[in-house]
Each structure stands twice: as C-alpha cells, then as structure tokens.
Chains A and B, each alone.
Chain A
Amino acid sequence: MAGTLLLVQFLNGLQLGVLLFLIAAGLTLVFGVMNFINLAHGVQYMLGAYLAVAFYGVVGNFLLALVLALIAALAFGLLLEILIFRHLYDRDHLDQIIATFGVILFLNHGVKVIWGAAPLTLPPPDVFAGSLVLMDGLLYPVWRLVIIAAGLAVAAGLYGAVNFTRVGMLVRAGATNAPMVSALGVNIERLFMMVFGIGAMLAGFAGIMIAPILSVEPGMGDNILILAFVVIVIGGIGSIRGAFIAALLIGLVDTLGRSFAVDILRLAMGPSPARTVGPAIASMLIYLLMAVVLYVRPEGLFPAKGR
C-alpha cells in the first residue's frame, strides 16, 4: 500500500516537474539571453489556459483548441515583446520589474473583466479521459500521464534544438555573450524576438495542458512563477539542462514533501504536533533546498555564463 502511494506521488511530482520545466525553460532563456526579468511570464501561462477554454467553447475540439490557443499565445507574446518588452532589454532590472508587474496587474484583472472571476474548467479530450490501471489497486488519471509524456517530449525537442541546430547555437552563444553575437553580424533583435516568442508559447502550452486538472482562474500563474524562478536559480540562469534537472527536483521534493512530511515527523514526535509542524516544514523544503544549493554554488548548478 505504501509502495503504491509512493509511486502515485512520484508520478504527481514528475508531472509538476515537467510543468515547471515548460514554464522555466522560456524564463531561463529569456533571462539568460536578454538579461531580462520577466515577471509577466506567469500570466502567459494563465493566458494559455484561458485561450484554450475560449477556443474550446468555439470549436468544441480539444486538439483544435490547443493548436489555436498555442498560435494565439505566440501572437500575444510577440505583441507584448514588440510593444513593451523590447524597450526594456537595456534598462535596469528595477525598470523591468515595475513594467512587467504592470503587465501582470493588467492581465490578471483583464481576464476577470472578460471571463469573470469564477474559475472555469476545460475537459480533457475523450481519448485521454478517465484512469489507467498501472498495477493492482493503482488507478492513475491518463491525462497526467499525457502531461508527463508531452513535457518530456518538449524537453527532448528543446535539448535537440538548442544543442544541434544553428539557431540553438546562436541562443547558446547569446546566453554566454549577447553583445559579441551581435557584433559578429547576427540579427540579435530577431533572435531575441524568437526566443521570447518560444518562451511565451511554452508557458502557454503549460497552461493549456494543466487546464483540465486545475481550475482556470485569474492569478493562477502568480505562485507558479515564483516556483519557476526557484527552478532557474537552482538550475543556473540560461541553462536548459539546469532548468530541466532543477524542475524535476523541485517537483519531486515539493510533492513528496507535502505527502510524507507528517508521516516522517510522526516517527520523531507525537501525531498532533506532527500534523501542525509537518505542513509548515513541507512548504519550506524547496526554499531550503534552494538556500543550500546557493550557499554552495551562488550561480546555480549549471551556470550558462562563463564568468
């Protein structure tokens, strides 16, 4: 019984991990290449979910809604880049924070104006609805497995694109030294725009994929944004590989910590104090992990910058 519970929570942790990776990948590239802190990355995740719900309402087909929402998320990301963000790349971090915070305020409340404050839902496609018997007495929702598979596929695709294509080479070079790349005659603005667009689309993709599990509501991207920051800080800013490893680590530690902290503490103290202290400790675990990693390696596990 304990073994099944462990496996279920392991899968849940993996699912949170790949979700975090989808968000953190764009964040770490945008930060690594453009040196741009994008607080508004979380609302792009939220927007992905809302767009999927909206398109599903029109076309009534999940796959079609997914494709349309992805295109819309990309278009919206590019629009934000052209209108606002590209004017902030050479500003200091404080300006970037304030402006992207303004974008968050606008979008978080803008969706309220359009779709209302009540949570919305999106059903998964019929093929992937229901649960799968993984082993005796272990039912697991198929859609969560789909999320894990999709996340791993995107991770593999990104890894290939970044490491084995010409554009990927430019992205890596940009993360190491963007002015030099520009000096060598690469159209850095187009590169920036592309990186930003892909990042926005990945965050939107994460939002679309999670929409059948979570409720779609204003501000749903706010807390996960901070988790994504923790991921890229641990993984090392600008590193896809670091983001992937750190995302899985954070997903597993957080999920397993929340499920088992009380049981583990019960070994050391009475059940009543364990129930009180357990959740508090569980919610601190990933931040303590971050603190330890940074204390040992202030630039994260896989820093991309060669300084």
Chain B
Amino acid sequence: MTGAAMSIVPSDRAAGSGRDVAGPLLMFMMFALVPLVAALTADRYLLDLAARVMIFAVAAVALDLLVGYGGLISFGHAAFMGLGAYAVGILSAHGIDDALVSFPVAIVVSMLFAWATGVVCLRTKGAYFIMITLAFGQMAYFVATSLAPYGGDNGLTIAARNTLAGWPLFKSDRPFYYFILVCLVGTYLLCRTLVASRFGRVVRGARENASRMATIGFKVQQFQLVAYVIAGGLAGMSGFLLANSTEFVSPAYMSWQRSGELIIMVILGGSGTLEGAIIGAAAYLLTEEWLSGIIENWQVIFGPVLVLVVLFGRGGLMGMATRLWRWWAHV
C-alpha cells in the first residue's frame, strides 16, 4: 500500500513454496478451538463473535485477491456480500430454504453481477475504477431498498436457517460454526493456489505494469475480469453465511460504508498477504466490539486512529508488527 517495495515483498513470499505454513495453520487451529473454549466458559457470545469474524474474513480474503495482488481497489465489495445474502433471503421467502439450492445460487448471482459490472469497471483505471465500483455498489444498495416485496428499507427476516439436503445442520450453532470455518479455509486455499499459479502471476504482473503485460501478449483485462468474478463469488458465499448466521437480510449489508470497512480490514492486516486479511477482519471486529463497550459512538475514537495509522504506520498491522519485531531483535 505504501510504496512498491512494501507490496512486492509479501506477495512474492506468498507465491513461494510453503514457507509460512505454520502461521495460517496456527490461526485456523485457534478458530477450530473457539467452540471448545466457548463450551468450557459457557459463553455462547464468543462463538457468535468468532463466526462473524470468519464470515467477514471470507469476504476480506477475496477482496485482498483484488486489492493486494491485482492492485484493483474495488470499493463495491459489500454489494456481492449483500447479493449472496439476498439470494438466501429471497429464496427463503419463496419457501426454498435448502442450502443445496441457495448456496450455489448465492455464489452464481454474485459472480454474474461481478461479471456484468466488471466488464465496464475494468475498462477504466486507478481512481475511476474506485469510483465506478463504488457507484455500482451503491446501485445494488438502492435496488435493495426499493424491493418493497422483500422488505425494502427495513430488510427481510429469514424464517429459519437453511437446511442442507433436508438435514438441519445449520440450526445448531456448533456445526454451522465449523461449516463457516470450512468455507474460510477453502477460500484461503483457493486464493493462495490462485496467487501462486500462472494466472496469479499475470494478475500481479498487471498490477506492476499493465501495458508491459499486454505487450508480452496477455489480455490483461480478461485475467482481471476472472479475478474480479472469483472475488465476487467468494464474497457472495460470505453473504450466504452472513444471512444464515443473522437470519436477517438488510440493504445495510450493501452500503458503501460496509465496502469501506472491508477495505480497512484488508489494509489493517497488511494487503497482499491473504492471512493478513483474516487478521485484519478479526482486528477490526474485535476493536469495534471492545470500543463500543466503552463508548457509544466508538467511531469517534476509531476514525482518528485510522488517520494516524495511514499518516504514521506503514504496511498495516503486519507491517507495524514486523517493524516492532525487528526493533526488538535489534535491541
């Protein structure tokens, strides 16, 4: 994010052989242990919070694919999440509440929207791309608010969580929690494979120098479009999870502030690292949880912190941690 050197180093490492398997593995094991801890302390709230973190982490990892590796600052990512959520809500309103239908529909609908808008967005570059993804996200938001049969502004309550092939797996919290974890691990592995593949190298090459990539014969826009559609589909999946988790769908899921929060998650964790996006999602949501317990309008504190992080911290939380570590090792 700050200077080319910052962003090249982590992505090259992620593309290399499985050097840093330990970190992600540890992270996922910690997520896997949360239900145990929650059972021991009889704290159901902890389970909810960890599930929420993982759901947003799915969308944030997908966004990191675009922002960190593709250099495509997509500011409409919440729209895909919202579409996935609305797919669950609208299908459920028509009596279809099996995940065998709603899960693929949520993903495919988001991918279609990503494809249709991506074709236009990717014709533009830089700041135009940011503003246009922002505008299309806002379009989805306003369409959702105008859907009077599906709750309009007020949103839509989902009667019950989806079944899986008629089996009420998601109804109890723990199995649903592990389903979310599987989705997160799957998203992470898919993105990691993509980034290290030839496809990923083209997308990353286009970030560094799109015209050079075009000159050596790659149709850069098509590669970027595929990345955009994949990221959209994954965000749609996280929307599916969010709708099932909250049993409620609302236009607020698509608001541009939500897209901004997703970008902040990616940046807080350090963009272009994938696992950083997971850490960023956890950091953002836990900070929100912690600060909102202290002061009602917690954004009054968090906003200035963001400004300070940008002005004085480079490379997000991971970058700051790295520098702290180096300083420590030096001392």
Answer yes or no: are A and B bound together in one complex: yes
**CA A81 to CA B1, docked complex, whole Å:** 22
**CA A273 to CA B120, docked complex, whole Å:** 29
**CA A53 to CA B288, docked complex, whole Å:** 31
Instruction: List CB contacts (< 8 Å) of B63-80 with chain A.
Output: 67, 73, 75
The distance from the CB of A280 to the nearest CB of chain B, in whole angstroms, is: 5
* A95-B299 contact, Cβ under 8 Å, with A276-B148, A280-B147, A283-B146: no
A279 an interface residue at 8 Å Cβ cutoff? Answer: yes
Contacts A110-B297, A232-B131, A279-B148 aside, 12 further interface pairs with beta carbons under 8 A come to A94-B263, A95-B1, A99-B306, A99-B307, A101-B263, A113-B300, A233-B128, A276-B149, A283-B145, A291-B117, A295-B123, A298-B128
Contacts of B139 in A (CB 8 A): 283-284, 287
**CA A71 to CA B123, docked complex, whole Å:** 41
Contact indicator B260/A97 (Cβ below 8 Å): yes
Give 27 pairs: A residue, B residue, CB < 8 Å, sorted on A.
A31-B127, A88-B310, A88-B311, A91-B310, A93-B73, A93-B127, A93-B130, A94-B271, A97-B75, A97-B260, A97-B263, A101-B260, A101-B306, A102-B306, A105-B299, A105-B302, A105-B306, A106-B300, A109-B300, A113-B297, A222-B256, A229-B135, A233-B128, A233-B131, A233-B132, A275-B148, A283-B145
B142 an interface residue at 8 Å Cβ cutoff? Answer: yes
B267 an interface residue at 8 Å Cβ cutoff? Answer: yes
* A106-B311 contact, Cβ under 8 Å, with A226-B134, A233-B132: no
Contacts of B123 in A (CB 8 A): 294-295, 298
The number of chain B residues with a CB under 8 A from chain A is 47
- Which residue in chain B gives the minimum CB-CB distance to A278? B146
Instruction: List CB contacts (< 8 Å) of A104-125 with chain B.
Output: 104-110, 112-113
B92 an interface residue at 8 Å Cβ cutoff? Answer: no
- Which residue in chain A gives the minimum CB-CB distance to B139? A287
Interface centre among B2, B117, B131 (most CB of A within 10 A): B131
Contact indicator B124/A102 (Cβ below 8 Å): no
**CA A287 to CA B76, docked complex, whole Å:** 13
A223 an interface residue at 8 Å Cβ cutoff? Answer: yes
A263 an interface residue at 8 Å Cβ cutoff? Answer: no
- Residues on B lying within 8 angstroms of A by beta carbon are 1-2, 67, 73, 75, 117, 120, 123-124, 126-128, 130-132, 134-136, 138-139, 142-143, 145-149, 256-257, 260, 263-264, 267, 271, 297-300, 302-307, 309-311
Contact indicator B310/A283 (Cβ below 8 Å): no
A290 an interface residue at 8 Å Cβ cutoff? Answer: yes
- Residues on A lying within 8 angstroms of B by beta carbon are 31, 35, 37, 39, 84, 87-88, 91-95, 97-99, 101-110, 112-113, 222-223, 226, 229-230, 232-233, 237, 275-276, 279-280, 282-284, 287, 290-291, 294-295, 298-299
- Which residue in chain A gives the minimum CB-CB distance to B316? A98
Contact indicator A109/B299 (Cβ below 8 Å): yes
- Which residue in chain B gives the minimum CB-CB distance to A291? B120
Contact indicator B307/A294 (Cβ below 8 Å): no
**CA A189 to CA B271, docked complex, whole Å:** 31
**CA A279 to CA B130, docked complex, whole Å:** 26
Contacts of A103 in B (CB 8 A): 303, 307
Choose one: B143, B148, B257, B306; the contact of A222 (CB below 8 Å).
Answer: B257
The distance from the CB of A282 to the nearest CB of chain B, in whole angstroms, is: 7
* A101-B264 contact, Cβ under 8 Å, with A279-B148, A294-B124: yes
The distance from the CB of B259 to the nearest CB of chain A, in whole angstroms, is: 10
Interface centre among B67, B145, B260 (most CB of A within 10 A): B260
**CA A276 to CA B311, docked complex, whole Å:** 47
Contact indicator B138/A104 (Cβ below 8 Å): no
**CA A113 to CA B135, docked complex, whole Å:** 30
Contact indicator A37/B260 (Cβ below 8 Å): no
Contacts of B307 in A (CB 8 A): 84, 99, 102-103, 106
Contacts of B260 in A (CB 8 A): 39, 97, 101
**CA A295 to CA B271, docked complex, whole Å:** 30
* A102-B300 contact, Cβ under 8 Å, with A91-B2, A226-B138: no
Choose one: B146, B264, B271, B305; the contact of A279 (CB below 8 Å).
Answer: B146
**CA A107 to CA B145, docked complex, whole Å:** 25
Contact indicator A94/B264 (Cβ below 8 Å): no
Contact indicator B310/A99 (Cβ below 8 Å): yes
Contact indicator B128/A283 (Cβ below 8 Å): no
The distance from the CB of A99 to the nearest CB of chain B, in whole angstroms, is: 4
Contacts of B120 in A (CB 8 A): 291, 294-295
Choose one: B136, B146, B147, B271; the contact of A282 (CB below 8 Å).
Answer: B146
Contacts of A95 in B (CB 8 A): 1-2, 310
Contacts of A226 in B (CB 8 A): 134-135, 138, 256
- Which residue in chain A gives the minimum CB-CB distance to B116? A291
The distance from the CB of A222 to the nearest CB of chain B, in whole angstroms, is: 7
- Which residue in chain B gives the minimum CB-CB distance to A106? B303
Contact indicator A237/B127 (Cβ below 8 Å): yes
* A98-B128 contact, Cβ under 8 Å, with A104-B303, A109-B300, A226-B134: no
* A230-B135 contact, Cβ under 8 Å, with A101-B306, A276-B148, A280-B147: yes
**CA A95 to CA B316, docked complex, whole Å:** 11
